[in-house]
Structure 1
Amino acid sequence: MINDDKVISSLDELESFLMAIESGVLGLQNVAGVALATNNADGRHFVAVLDDKHQLLLGRWVTEEVFKNGQDLVRNGSKPTH
């Protein structure tokens, strides 16, 4: 499911990750959405990048704090700086 052990541990890191997705820097194709989710196998939280068929394109582990406090950021997207 998630190929690496990178963990997003702050809201700033989450925002940077979302901006990378939105800008296309990660090279993902057919991105339809982003969600915070919980792995059924072990209960760990992650941010999921999904395609239009709700298939996981990329996942990144997140800390409990980011899971609890980052939901609005994931829901509304990152805010570009001017």
Structure 2
Amino acid sequence: MTMTELKHLYHQNLLAEAIIEPSSSDEGWIVEFRHKQGGFLMLTDIHGAECQYNDLDKASKSALAVGFTEVRIEAK
């Protein structure tokens, strides 16, 4: 889901938490959000490709931009 779509869900109080975890295909990081009704939503670009970050700080800033004040980081 795009940043805009995730912000909309956050403001509807439908997201439980933001999670940064290692990318399975690279050395980078991906950002996911846990939906309150179950399941995970990945941050994607407007074309539906997952957003990958080489820098943990940039990944955190993207997760926080949705609206959360805390982000859970999964270890590599």
Give the TM interval when normalised to the shorter protein.
Answer: 0.3 to 0.5
Question: Which is higher, the Rg of structure 1 or of structure 2?
Answer: 1
TM-score if structure 2 supplies the norm length? 0.42
Q: What's the TM-score once normalised by structure 1's chain length?
A: 0.40
Q: Which protein is richer in helix relative to its size?
A: 1
